Structure 1
Amino acid sequence: MPRCANKGCQKEFEEANNEEGSCSYHPGGPVFHEGLKSWSCCNEVNKPVLEFDQFMALPTCTKGKHSSKPSEPAKEAPKPAESSSGPTEISADGVETYGFSKLSTDPSSSSSSSNAPAQAVAPTASAPAPATKIEEEEQDDPSVSVTEGTGCKRTGCIHKYVDEEQSRGEGKCRYHPQGAIFHEGSKGYLCCKRRVLEFDEFLKIEGCKEGKHLFVGSKKDEKKEEKIDCRLDHYQTPLQVHVSAFAKGADKEKSIVKFEQQQLHLDLFLPANKRVTKTISLYGPINPENSTFRILGTKVDIVLQKPSAISWPLLELPPPGTELPPGYALTFGVSGRTGTVGGKEIVLSPEELARRG
């Protein structure tokens, strides 16, 4: 049976039973702006959210018929930063994949920059990277029953539970073990290399890891302390990274935030016997003695002090073997007649120029 290509549906359907109202979908396109994610067709009803999983769970807003052909993608407003990237690569099937051309290193291009000097960029390769702690992935407790039709919780998997044999026995799950990443128009996952421009193509990126489906997760003992994760959000200035750890009701007396040269340790005690223990390998080094934190009612505000004006394309250092597109090393400064506003050429640090050859 064909699978519906309407955004938010993705269900299999029979053409003979494809009646009006059988499909629930989003006619508009996704909108990503400053970390917030929403749909253009219903962003007044379904308010923008921060997490990608929350975005994918937003209820659809339109009824209609299933369609095996994708609708015309909504045109997004051009972003100034995207003018700095090179041409995209177009595969044989017409799919655009995010690419970069070699940037000009002509020293004359920086001579007309504004009086404000461009900030330095990515950390040099000589900085030692801390060891990344590999956490064991959650698995289903086989003693917990699953309701038929329950969807797999793993990112990128659309399988729904049928029975023990098909879904837990022989069933194989193809999924993405790491989260989605969006940067200057490109879309992909941290765990695999492919980057695309269109959101419809992003949804089609096949999982890069194979394992067992996750329907209910591991069995929890309510008498024991429950270890949970917390959502992190961040933004940066040239000399600081501001991090918000969303841990509501953290105990100010017992909770600990510890800074190291390139690691951030969280040990947060929450209500209902829950606890967040998290070690973050930071993308770049910090000054631990100048970094600060505040425990508030709904979150923990953290300010990481950089030793110099460098840009972090990510908060966390990617696992070994993860490759980021070259554009992720580009940061604050551009040159041109009007300086950083409307500038044409990106200013790179000497280290980045040397690395690009």
Structure 2
Amino acid sequence: MTGLLQCYNKGCGQKYDEGSNTEDRDSCQYHPGEPIFHDAKKKWSCCKKFSTDFSEFLSIKGCTKGKHSNVRPVEPEKNKTNGTDSAELSSVPLTPAAPAPLPPVSNSQPRPSPSEPMCQLSVEVTPSLKTLLSKMSIEHKSDAHGTGAVEEDTVNVVVGTSCKNSGCKATYSGTAADNDLCLYHPGVPIFHEGQPVGTIGSNYRTRNRATNLAVSIAAQATCRHDWFQLPGQVIITVYAKAVIPESVNVTANRVRLHATFEFGSDRQRFDKTFELCGTVVPEASVIKLMGTKVEIALKKGEAMSWPRLEILAPSTATGDESKTQ
């Protein structure tokens, strides 16, 4: 049989003769709706029949009768939701777009002057340090101001010891002559264009020789230190064992921190100034003295992250210009 046309009504799939294709014969049984695939269910939008098997879904007979059609149906625009109908999509709330990221926080306020008045930070002595100092029996050797000076009458000076003052060549003899005045230079030698001079000029200072031999200045020490930060604090840790509480003197303003203290049985001295990268609140900052370290907790002046602990020196930030001159 020739001249048959293919019916493109959904669910029909038959071939027909155009001459016998009339409205009153209801020769075509089809689905006027659209297929819907949701989860495991497969159904037509025009009827309530559904199936979980694709072959059974294709065999579901049409719910409407009418005339065959040789016109291909217009393909609906493909939905990115794998068959979810428009009614279901309209019930799903749209997720708002994520807001644009905020720019990095910058310090819009001018940097305070490092010459602002310094504030004394409060000191807390932990039990671990108290226990350690008790074991070392050095608490009674600390004077009220923590200067580390040793009483003259407790020092046994060996006869023949040289005077430590610059420019004095006297030696300790153990006689009354040791109480004579010492003529010395308080400065350091400077050699400039072949003419050695002192930093204090040609002036001399006087001092008792015996006292000078007995009293020694605490040795300057370099302690390892590091830091970390929290959202509202910057923590500086200086590693020094058995810090003498009476010798601790830590002051700060908004951009500068100066810490000095003595530690150990030999009373080594730590002295350092930090030019802080950000601003702090000295009144809300605190120092904790522990058995093996000193912890300085500085409250941040602004809630922002510090890229480093200290500001870069001009020669580091812009390059050492002296090399090119």
TM-score range, shorter chain: 0.3 to 0.5
Report the TM-score when normalising by structure 1: 0.31
- Which structure has the larger Rg over C-alpha atoms? 2
* Greater percentage in strand: 2
